[in-house]
Amino acid sequence: MANVTHTELIPRRILFGNPTKASPRISPDGKHLAYLAPMDNILNVWVGEVGGQEFQPITKDSERGIRFYFWAADNKHILYIQDTGGNENWRLYATDLETHATRDLTPFENVQVQIVDQDKHFPNELLIAMNKENPQVHDVYNLNLTTGNLTLVAQNPGNIAGWVVDTQFKVRGAMAAREDGGIDVLVRDNEESEWRHILGWDSDDALTSGALSFTRDGQSLYIQDSRNVNAGRLIRLNLATNEESVIAEDAQYDVGAVVIHPDTYEIQAVSFNKDRVEWQVLDESIALDFDRIRDIHEGDFSIVGRDDADENWVVAFTVDNGAVPYYVYHRTAQSVDFLFDNMPELTTYKLAHMEPISFPARDGLVIHGYLTLPVGEQSNLPLVVDVHGGPWARDSWGFNPEAQWFANRGYACLQINYRGSTGYGKEYLNAGDKEWGRKMHYDLLDGVEWAISRGIADAQRVAIYGGSYGGYAALVGATMTPDVFRCAVDIVGPSNLITLIKTIPPYWSTALASFQKRVGNADTEVEFLQSRSPLFHVDNIKIPMLIAQGANDPRVKQAESEQIVEAMKSKGIAYEYMLFPDEGHGFAKPENRIKFYAAAEKFLAHNLGGDYEE
């Protein structure tokens, strides 16, 4: 096997194992810090004093590892959600800081918990949503953290896709899904009042718009709104007069993260995810803070937590060629304390840079993406097209373990935000409607051609790789455009759009109309969907394929992988198939991730000639 990179190989366990530490969160009173770290190779929550050295694990997850947690506003509990085997039926748990005892707050079978809201002014309460009464929709419950009592506060009539809570911790806003794929915003004066319609978006605006939060007086709503413009902008809507005022906007990019003051509930800053994240400060009282934070580190920053006094902020930075460093920023002193890097072992290796790129598609639409090249290598490289999932999502600039893995093994990595990706405005997003396996895929092909024409990629050594929609794209590459690619890697990708749509989770019911508009109708457009489904083009496969699937995936069922595997098997087409019995839509367990990446690395090395860690 040819050595391509001449660079020290970064071990897979560093790139894809557990982080050393991650996700720090400061307690509401500012006295304690929590973070995720492995205990017996399983991520758990550790807690210690801010500025101290003595941290200890307080949770005792022994199966999948904790990935999402937060402080209760009472300073007494750590709250986290966990599912079983990747089935996404999340339960909510509370661990007592003093006794380390953990309670299952939602001990219901086949029910999914969603966190709706928490507020420091209501420290003993939490608003959660569950599909306990109707598997298809989530109702909202007020959870008393002391007693564990659940009180129904908003019943879903069957069409509500999201809820908005006012500053009195009452559910007063709702986003109702329409049969045409649009969304209506409903409000009510109190929890006993009738809902009334405030505004609506048709399907073209539905994914670039949405209600965000109430003003402190409860008389106005902050809304992301793309009506009459291309990109979702931030507006304030007076509920009594319908008067609108624009707070922040960009002609091309949708509003991204929104920073809200925890006491005044005013919008303090918004981000726009362009080639990199750019912040627009709206509240002058934090302008100096943002300037000081920018001076800390060259990476793109985000505020991941703040204490109740708003004195201490936890800040994270992302860079393209290194670990994520975390700091505590002290506002009064304008000083910082370094906390930790999430993956400190990376500092001993040479990592690659990620370059924002763009190119014209064959129909003239300018497509955006990112290119990561091996350190010191610039031309005639084997290329991996790493396709993001969603597809209504996007790739962003910053540290990406897969991009670094590819580059370290000697491959150019091309990540393309094909049409249908989010963040670039509704014209870009809606250009992907009904274009699965066509123009969305052509954007990938045009990206390959762009890389070849610039001398970056070797046309004879191109792979297509991805998960979820990216897995579908890999299957499309193998079945519909096999001459472009040397091999394909599909992770939890759907092979048949008809069975995909017919087997979506029941709680996706409010998204079905949008899915039908943007992908197709499994009842009325059978022939069309067959034409876009890799399963019906399996005879065209002539390149090696690696397929990986979680047995408990609620989104893309195991059958999606197995039906195309069976088709290849019956036709004598070579393939590798990995089924993970304890995973769902992706791989949560580090041992499963490392097992998959070892197989994928060997597969790519065999077919493209890159490096491989023995």
Instruction: Tell me the pLDDT tens digit for each residue of 160-216.
Output: 999 999 999 999 999 999 999 999 999 999 999 999 999 999 999 999 999 999 999
Are the CB atoms for 448 and 385 separated by under 8 Å? yes
Question: 390 — alpha (psi -120 to 50), left (phi > 0) or beta?
Answer: left
* pLDDT, mean of residues 593-598: 98
Upstream peptide bond of 482 is cis (omega within 30 degrees of 0): no
* pLDDT, mean of residues 141-170: 97
Would you say residue 331 has pLDDT above 90? Answer: yes
Distance CA 491, CA 480 (A): 18
Q: List CB contacts of 172: < 8 A, sequence separation 6 or more.
A: 164, 165, 166, 187, 188, 189, 190, 191, 214, 218
Domain boundary among the residues 154, 187, 213 is at 154
pLDDT per residue as tens digits for the range 94-115 = 999 999 999 999 999 999 999 9
Are the CB atoms for 548 and 516 separated by under 8 Å? no
**Which pLDDT band, with edges at 50, 70 and 90, does 412 fall under?**
very high
- Any domain includes 192: no
Identify the domain containing residue 362 by its residue range: 354-608
Handedness of CA 155, 161, 166, 167 (dihedral sign): positive
- Any domain includes 491: yes
| Helix residue ranges per DSSP H, 164-310 | 203-206, 287-296
- Closest alpha carbon to 457 in 389, 410, 419: 410
Given the residues 61, 204, 250, 553, the one annotated as active site = 553
Any idea what the CATH number is for the domain that residue 363 is in?
3.40.50.1820
- Any domain includes 331: no
* pLDDT, mean of residues 557-571: 94
Count CA atoms within 13 Å of residue 597 on its CB side.
25
* pLDDT, mean of residues 41-69: 96
Tokens representing residue 302 in the block: 């985000």
pLDDT per residue as tens digits for the range 333-344 = 999 999 999 999
* pLDDT, mean of residues 139-155: 97
**Which pLDDT band, with edges at 50, 70 and 90, does 125 fall under?**
very high
- Any domain includes 587: yes
Any idea what the CATH number is for the domain that residue 75 is in?
2.120.10.30
- Any domain includes 378: yes
pLDDT per residue as tens digits for the range 371-409 = 999 999 889 999 999 999 999 999 999 999 999 999 999
Secondary structure of residue 569 in the 3-state scheme: helix
Domain boundary among the residues 137, 154, 171 is at 154
Round the average pLDDT of the chain to a whole number and report it: 97
- Any domain includes 29: yes
**Which pLDDT band, with edges at 50, 70 and 90, does 6 fall under?**
low
* 104 is a catalytic site residue: no
| Helix residue ranges per DSSP H, 254-393 | 287-296
* pLDDT, mean of residues 123-133: 98
Distance CA 106, CA 451 (A): 51
- Any domain includes 297: no
* 553 is a catalytic site residue: yes
- Any domain includes 362: yes
* 32 is a catalytic site residue: no
**Which pLDDT band, with edges at 50, 70 and 90, does 3 fall under?**
very low
Tokens representing residue 539 in the block: 């005879």
Would you say residue 586 has pLDDT above 70? Answer: yes
DSSP, residue by residue, 496-518: -HHHHHHTS-GGGGGGHHHHHHH
Would you say residue 529 has pLDDT above 50? Answer: yes
Q: What type of residue is 178?
A: R
- Report the share of the chain in percent with pLDDT over 70: 99
- Judged by average pLDDT, the poorest of 5-9, 292-296, 326-330, 518-522 is 5-9
Threshold 0.95, pTM exceeds: yes
Would you say residue 1 has pLDDT above 80? Answer: no
Q: Cβ–Cβ contacts within 10 Å for residue 275, how many?
A: 15
Domain boundary among the residues 154, 188, 213 is at 154
pLDDT per residue as tens digits for the range 292-310 = 999 999 999 999 999 999 9
Spatial strand order of the sheet with 77-82 comes to 69-71, 77-82, 91-96, 102-104
Given the residues 209, 396, 468, 495, the one annotated as active site = 468
Core vs surface per residue 382-395: b (16+ CB within 10 A) or e: bbbbbbbbbbebbb
Give the total number of structural domains in the chain.
2
Are the CB atoms for 323 and 339 separated by under 8 Å? no
> Bridge-partner residues for 225, per DSSP?
233
pLDDT per residue as tens digits for the range 459-503 = 999 999 999 999 999 999 999 999 999 999 999 999 999 999 999
Distance CA 244, CA 235 (A): 6
